[in-house]
Amino acid sequence: MSSKKFSQLAETLIASEIVRLGNLIKEKIKSGEKIYNYTIGDFDSKEFPIPVELKNEIINAYEEGFTTYPIADGELDLRQAIASFIERKENLSYLPTEILVSNGGRPLIYSIFRSIVDKGDKVIYPVPSWNNNHYTHFTDGEHIQIQVNKENDFLPTAAQLAPHIKGASLLALCSPLNPTGTIFSKEELEAICDLVIAENESRKEDEKKLYVMYDQIYWTLTFGEAVHYNPVSLRPKMKEYTVFVDGISKAFAATGVRVGWSMGPQDLIAKMRAINSHVGSWAPMAEQKAVAKYLNNHVAVDSYLSHFKNEIEFRLKKLYEGFIQLQTEGFAIDAITPQAAIYLTVQINAVNLQTSNGTILQTQSDVTNYILDEAKLAMVPFGFFGADRESSWYRISVGCCKKEEIELVIENLRIALKKLH
Alpha-carbon dihedral sign for residues 237, 240, 241, 243? positive
Per-residue pLDDT of the chain (421 residues; tens, 9 = 90+): 456 789 988 888 887 777 778 788 888 889 999 999 999 899 999 999 999 999 999 999 999 999 999 999 999 999 999 999 999 999 999 999 999 999 999 999 999 999 999 999 999 999 999 999 999 999 999 999 999 999 999 999 999 999 999 999 999 999 999 999 999 999 999 999 999 999 999 999 999 999 999 999 999 999 999 999 999 999 999 999 999 999 999 999 999 999 999 999 999 999 999 999 999 999 999 999 999 999 999 999 999 999 999 999 999 999 999 999 999 999 999 999 999 999 999 999 999 999 999 999 999 999 999 999 999 999 999 999 989 999 999 999 999 999 999 999 999 999 999 999 9
Tell me the domain boundaries of the chain.
8-48+303-418, 52-301
- Report residue 346: phi and psi, to 5°: -130, 160
Domain pair 8-48+303-418 / 52-301, same fold: no
- Helix (DSSP H) and strand (DSSP E) numbers for the chain: 14, 13
Q: Report how far Cα 313 is from the mean position of its chain's Cα atoms.
A: 17
Q: Span 8-48+303-418: which CATH code? A: 3.90.1150.10
Task: State in words which class domain 52-301 has.
Answer: alpha beta
**b/e string for 53-90 if b means 16 or more Cβ within 10 A?**
bbeebbeebeeeebeeebebbbbebbbbbbbebbeebb
Q: At what angle do helices 52-63 and 285-295 cross, to 10 degrees?
A: 140
Q: What is the per-residue DSSP string for 95-146?
A: -GGGEEEESSHHHHHHHHHHHHPPTT-EEEEEES-SSHHHHHHHTTPEEEEE
330 — alpha (psi -120 to 50), left (phi > 0) or beta?
left
- Please give the pLDDT value at position 23: 83
- Please give the pLDDT value at position 2: 56
- Please give the pLDDT value at position 44: 95
Give 372's DSSP letter: I
Half-sphere exposure of 64 (CA within 13 A, CB side): 12
Q: What order do you get walking across the sheet with 380-381 strand by strand?
A: 333-335, 343-348, 393-397, 380-381
Contact 220, 341 (CB under 8 A): no
Distance CA 388, CA 146 (A): 12
